[in-house]
Chains A and B, each alone.
Chain A
Amino acid sequence: MRKTFILLLLFSSYFIKSQDFNNYQPLKCQGPIPEDFRKTASEKFESNKTKIKTKEKGYIKKAKETFILESTFYNDLILQSGVILFNDPITNYINKVGDVVLNDFLELRKKIRFYTMKSQVVNAYSSDNGIIFITTGLISQLENEAQLAYIISHEVVHYAKKHQISGYIEKVKMEKGTDNYKKMSNTDKLMLSLKYSKNDEYEADKLGLTDYYKLTNYNYKAVDGVYDVLQFSDLPFDIIPFDKNILNPEYYKINDEYYKIEKKEIDYKEDKDDSESTHPNVKKRREAVNSILNEFNNDGRQFYIVSEDEFKIVRKISRYEVLRQYLLEADYASAIYNSFLLLKEEPESKYIKTAIAFSLYACCEYKCHSTISSVITSYTKVMGEQSELNKMLTKIKKDELLCIATNYIWKTYLANNSDPFLKEIAYGVIKELPASKMSFDDFSLKPPDTNKLKESDTIKVEDDSKKNDSKYSKIKKNKEKGKDKSALGFTLVEVINNQEFATAFKQATESYKEEDEYNKSLSKKAKRKLAKRGASLGVNKIIILDPFYFKYDERKKDKVLCLESEDSQFKLSNLTKESAKKVGITTQVISSKKFDEDEVDLFNDMSFFKEWINERFVHEDLDLISSSFTTINGLAGKYQTNYLYFNGVVNLKLKRHNLAGIILSTVYFPVILPYTIYFCASPEYKTYYYGLLLDLKTGKVKFSVIDNFNYISSNDFLKSIIYDSFNQIKSLKKSK
């Protein structure tokens, strides 16, 4: 095991050095899969349960059991969600810093496991069973290694002092009204609960500093910086005015009016009202810590103990990973702004330019479907320099954005024409030009007379001050705008003379006409008939991704039935696999509950598929190319199928409401009394099933089923619907 670990460290240092930021590859887990990911939640619960002291009061013992069950179950959901990394360069680095922090606490060190969470959010979180999650968002914002060491020290205190479980027990005591809580009002109880939570934070800050951080040789000045990171965690890792020229075509300039904004001042208020918050405000925490720090001698203390170079590379990787997360989460303005920041260091990075190209493509798709506001946060809510970009992406006209995006994407593609992802985006965006009634002839093949290309030639931006215009003057102005397409005609000059571009444009125009005619010809009746008949996809091989099962009982205090859910998840996984086999579909089931130690590749595949699915559902009805196209395409090749099926069941037992009707009926017809008793005593059952087959290459939903049944046992219905789904997926269309 030790040898494996050493080899792993060597390998990870090689990976760090070998990470090519020009062609950035998403982070992957490496080496043997840790036990945390292999054991089921039920197994973990059984082993953690034994730690509860038998002498404790009945309700406290029960509360502890409930807490352990729920926290184990939810932690397991996080571990299997596909966003957690182990043995990767970032986690390995965190572990090294963790080793330094806990150098004098070897027993404690053995109990603590660090994992990186792929998320743009700035956060660190400690679980009651010794797992500490640190996000890539947090690493990307840190200034030095010592800051990470302080954050680790803080989280270690939460674990060592069992803050989570003791907070939960206090909450249970409050609810029961025992001890000192007998005469308290609910508001007082809530405020007290928040106070306990804040006290935990103060304690973690203080003891993290005195019990752990102080024993290392890390510099005390870093501690204050951690509170800066917390205070400005909503901002990107740097604040530089956005360079508008990045997006401008050579012969066209996006009107500055689009960007013009009264920038929202960065909120420096660190003394926010925290009375209803679980954490004290930054000012109070900073003051509390500084009062201790003043007594310490900082001489000879360092910002780096493990390695400054490694910290910088790890932080850079985190920043790239954050960019990737923005793309997956469809936060395209943040993705473009972060790309702009990263370009400062790597001006020729293909990965960053592709990220911008993809963001523009996605914005165009959303703009064309008039749903841009769902992916671009309102500029009034964005602080700092990025708000300008948010305004431009919100206000710019669809046609203008489409032309600018097409130019940028095709320029990037033509410079890297062997990249299949860029090709996909390039051919994807060009389809929108004919759909927006723009033809090849609308664009100039030659550059304009540069003297004429002035601000006046660009499309005017609607000025908010003109809102007072009369209805008729607005109509006239809109008419004027419609005519003013001359400037847009020069947006594609850089790419329009390329043969491939011209051919792609003409093909897109042709296929748009055909599609349009087909859609018109397909009558409503024919569509209904098609839906009634069922799908006939002729698919022989699929990937089944982690069937999901969730059981909930509204009548119980612990409403989520954790253990039963996990057990049913196993059964659903087997049922799905057997049904597919019966129909004759070859399957590769990737279940989060069944990993062997050496199946790290399968684990990574599951993570990438889950990321891909999450991104797919952010887009809802829009069929967009995925930002992880390259990775998913590779996986489709690996599993030799283009289809991924994922399904799940939500099983609810609900309280019955409106019993008055049946009780009244019983008064008039006493003969139905036994049924009335049964009806009132039993819950209302609801079982929902969903299953979707997605095309890995296009992201399109090829087949979907959503159904519900209201029976006590619904196994036969589940079997029927799962089998039918696979039958439709497998069968070929028969002629009448």
Chain B
Amino acid sequence: MEQAKKIFVIILLLSINFNSYSQVSGYLGKKFIISYTPEITYSLTNPNYKGNCVFDVKLHPFAINMKHNGTVEYVVARNLSLGVDFMYWKTNFYLKNNFSYHNINDPTQSGTFNGKFGQQGIVKVMGFGAYIKIFKRSLAPLGAYTKIKTMLINYSPTATDTSFSYMNKSELAYIQPSKKSYQGIFISATWGKHRIIKNLIVLDMGFEIGTCFCGGMKYLISKNSYSGIASEYLKTESGARIFGGMLINFNIGIGLLAF
């Protein structure tokens, strides 16, 4: 993981070191954009934060997963802009395997997880990254672009066994990994388009493909074959969920062309 951090810092520094001595016009002289961009993935088989997905026991045709992105972007060259990105994402993940655990409310209690579909795993993901946008055939920050983003993500999975009752029937048992949060690196490429309305509002539409180095490979091997301690299991399953959830996204953002 230390190595991943180093790579992230190097990429960030390389991005910032662009020389900007060219005639940078921005849009009517404005170069600074603050924007909010929800990244949307259609929840076909993976649950969203409500635990719904399209092909569930009950059909949820409009189940979507939404990641919230806040960005600050600055035009540094005629066809380049640099930005920093903060992401927050909360979603559910499946806990399919049966495994032993200790109740964190009472470590003397232990049980075997046989959780129900969808409701049990929650992962909160926060990310901080930097990106570069290369505008093709038009002047930044307008028109079609390709965005390369790298992001350091921090994720905290938790889970609840709804089938277990402890002491009082209303209380649920919580399962948590021994370490509360984990880190990973996310790298993506986006193909999108900026339009500007009334010289002030920036509309951003795009399609993103990314990969997350926090369980991708394990995702492939974890399916119904995992056996181990609970915390490792949560880490692996949540990582796999993040990998799947961040693989393909559609962005529709709105921003303010500040100055």
Q: Which residues of A contact B (CB under 8 A)?
A: 532-536, 579, 582-583, 707, 709, 711, 716-717, 719-721, 723-724, 727-728, 731, 734-736
B21 touches A723 (CB 8 A): no
Q: Which residues of B have CB within 8 Å of A532?
A: 22, 78
Check: B25 CB closer than 8 A to any chain A CB: yes
A716 touches B21 (CB 8 A): no
Check: B139 CB closer than 8 A to any chain A CB: yes
Give chain B nearest CB distance to A622 CB in angstroms. 28
Take A532-B78, A728-B23 as given contacts and tell me if A721 and B28 are in contact as well, using a CB distance cutoff of 8 Å. no
A719 touches B28 (CB 8 A): yes
Q: Which residues of B have CB within 8 Å of A579?
A: 28
Q: Which residues of A have CB within 8 Å of B143?
A: 709, 717
Check: B57 CB closer than 8 A to any chain A CB: no
Which of B21, B29, B197 contacts A735, CB < 8 Å? B21
Inter-chain pairs besides A582-B28, A716-B196, A723-B28, 16 sampled, C-beta below 8 Å: A532-B78, A533-B21, A533-B22, A533-B78, A579-B28, A716-B27, A716-B142, A716-B195, A716-B197, A719-B28, A724-B25, A724-B78, A724-B139, A727-B25, A728-B23, A736-B21
Give chain A nearest CB distance to B83 CB in angstroms. 19
Which of B22, B29, B197 contacts A723, CB < 8 Å? B29
Check: B199 CB closer than 8 A to any chain A CB: yes
A720 touches B23 (CB 8 A): no
B27 touches A536 (CB 8 A): no
A533 to B, closest residue via Cβ: B22
Take A532-B78, A582-B28, A727-B29 as given contacts and tell me if A720 and B139 are in contact as well, using a CB distance cutoff of 8 Å. yes
CA distance A727 to B140 in the complex (A): 14
Give chain A nearest CB distance to B111 CB in angstroms. 45
Give chain B nearest CB distance to A588 CB in angstroms. 22
Check: B224 CB closer than 8 A to any chain A CB: no
Identify the interface centre among A583, A711, A723, A731: most chain B CB within 10 Å of its CB.
A723
Check: B138 CB closer than 8 A to any chain A CB: yes
CA distance A720 to B257 in the complex (A): 13
Q: Which residues of B have CB within 8 Å of A719?
A: 27-28, 199
Check: B19 CB closer than 8 A to any chain A CB: yes
CA distance A716 to B30 in the complex (A): 13
A721 touches B195 (CB 8 A): no
A711 to B, closest residue via Cβ: B195
CA distance A540 to B237 in the complex (A): 63
B23 to A, closest residue via Cβ: A534
Q: Which residues of B have CB within 8 Å of A716?
A: 27, 142, 195-197
CA distance A724 to B27 in the complex (A): 8
Give chain A nearest CB distance to B192 CB in angstroms. 14
B197 touches A536 (CB 8 A): no
B142 touches A736 (CB 8 A): no
Give chain B nearest CB distance to A38 CB in angstroms. 33
Interface size class of B (residues with CB under 8 A): 10 to 19
Main SS of the interface on chain A?
helix
A720 touches B22 (CB 8 A): no
Take A717-B142, A720-B139 as given contacts and tell me if A582 and B23 are in contact as well, using a CB distance cutoff of 8 Å. no
Take A532-B78, A534-B78, A582-B28 as given contacts and tell me if A734 and B142 are in contact as well, using a CB distance cutoff of 8 Å. no
27 contacts between A and B (CB under 8 A): A532-B78, A533-B22, A533-B23, A534-B23, A535-B23, A536-B23, A579-B28, A583-B29, A707-B137, A707-B138, A709-B138, A716-B27, A716-B142, A716-B195, A716-B196, A717-B142, A719-B27, A719-B28, A720-B25, A720-B28, A720-B142, A720-B196, A723-B27, A727-B25, A728-B25, A735-B21, A736-B21
A736 touches B19 (CB 8 A): yes
Q: Which residues of B have CB within 8 Å of A536?
A: 23
CA distance A138 to B85 in the complex (A): 72
Q: Which residues of A have CB within 8 Å of B78?
A: 532-534, 724
Take A579-B28, A720-B27, A720-B28 as given contacts and tell me if A534 and B142 are in contact as well, using a CB distance cutoff of 8 Å. no
CA distance A535 to B138 in the complex (A): 16
Q: Which residues of A have CB within 8 Å of B199?
A: 719
Q: Which residues of B have CB within 8 Å of A721?
A: 139
- Residues 130-172 of B, flagged 1 when their CB comes within 8 A of A and 0 if not, give 0000000111001100000000000000000000000000000
B138 touches A720 (CB 8 A): yes
Main SS of the interface on chain B?
loop
Q: Which residues of B have CB within 8 Å of A535?
A: 23
B28 touches A717 (CB 8 A): no
Q: Which residues of A have CB within 8 Å of B137?
A: 707
Identify the interface centre among A534, A583, A720, A731: most chain B CB within 10 Å of its CB.
A720
Q: Which residues of A have CB within 8 Å of B19?
A: 736
| Interface set, chain B 4-39, CB cutoff 8 A to A | 19, 21-23, 25, 27-29
Identify the interface centre among B23, B29, B195: most chain A CB within 10 Å of its CB.
B23
Q: Which residues of A have CB within 8 Å of B29?
A: 582-583, 723, 727
Identify the interface centre among A534, A711, A721: most chain B CB within 10 Å of its CB.
A534
B78 to A, closest residue via Cβ: A534
Q: Which residues of A have CB within 8 Å of B195?
A: 711, 716
Give chain A nearest CB distance to B145 CB in angstroms. 14
Q: Which residues of A have CB within 8 Å of B196?
A: 716, 720
Take A720-B138, A723-B28 as given contacts and tell me if A731 and B23 are in contact as well, using a CB distance cutoff of 8 Å. yes
CA distance A731 to B29 in the complex (A): 12
CA distance A579 to B27 in the complex (A): 11
Q: Which residues of A have CB within 8 Å of B22?
A: 532-534
B203 to A, closest residue via Cβ: A716
A725 to B, closest residue via Cβ: B25
A723 touches B25 (CB 8 A): yes
Give chain A nearest CB distance to B257 CB in angstroms. 10
Identify the interface centre among A535, A709, A716, A727: most chain B CB within 10 Å of its CB.
A716
CA distance A724 to B142 in the complex (A): 12
Give chain B nearest CB distance to A735 CB in angstroms. 7
B202 to A, closest residue via Cβ: A716
Give chain A nearest CB distance to B188 CB in angstroms. 25
Q: Which residues of B have CB within 8 Å of A582?
A: 28-29
A535 to B, closest residue via Cβ: B23
CA distance A506 to B29 in the complex (A): 48
Give chain A nearest CB distance to B259 CB in angstroms. 13
Q: Which residues of A have CB within 8 Å of B139?
A: 720-721, 724
Give chain B nearest CB distance to A150 CB in angstroms. 59
Take A723-B29, A727-B29 as given contacts and tell me if A717 and B23 are in contact as well, using a CB distance cutoff of 8 Å. no
A716 to B, closest residue via Cβ: B196
B142 to A, closest residue via Cβ: A720
CA distance A709 to B22 in the complex (A): 23
Q: Which residues of B have CB within 8 Å of A731?
A: 23
Q: Which residues of B have CB within 8 Å of A723?
A: 25, 27-29
Give chain A nearest CB distance to B164 CB in angstroms. 42
CA distance A534 to B23 in the complex (A): 6
- Residues 199-219 of B, flagged 1 when their CB comes within 8 A of A and 0 if not, give 100000000000000000000
B23 touches A727 (CB 8 A): yes
CA distance A34 to B199 in the complex (A): 40
- Residues 41-83 of B, flagged 1 when their CB comes within 8 A of A and 0 if not, give 0000000000000000000000000000000000000100000
Q: Which residues of A have CB within 8 Å of B138?
A: 707, 709, 717, 720
A721 to B, closest residue via Cβ: B139
Q: Which residues of B have CB within 8 Å of A711?
A: 195
Give chain A nearest CB distance to B136 CB in angstroms. 12
Take A716-B197, A717-B142 as given contacts and tell me if A734 and B28 are in contact as well, using a CB distance cutoff of 8 Å. no
A713 to B, closest residue via Cβ: B195
CA distance A582 to B199 in the complex (A): 13
Give chain A nearest CB distance to B61 CB in angstroms. 13
B141 to A, closest residue via Cβ: A720
Q: Which residues of A have CB within 8 Å of B21?
A: 533, 734-736
CA distance A716 to B202 in the complex (A): 11
CA distance A719 to B27 in the complex (A): 8
Give chain A nearest CB distance to B139 CB in angstroms. 5
Q: Which residues of B have CB within 8 Å of A728?
A: 23, 25
Identify the interface centre among B19, B28, B29: most chain A CB within 10 Å of its CB.
B28
CA distance A237 to B137 in the complex (A): 53
Give chain B nearest CB distance to A151 CB in angstroms. 53
Give chain A nearest CB distance to B23 CB in angstroms. 4
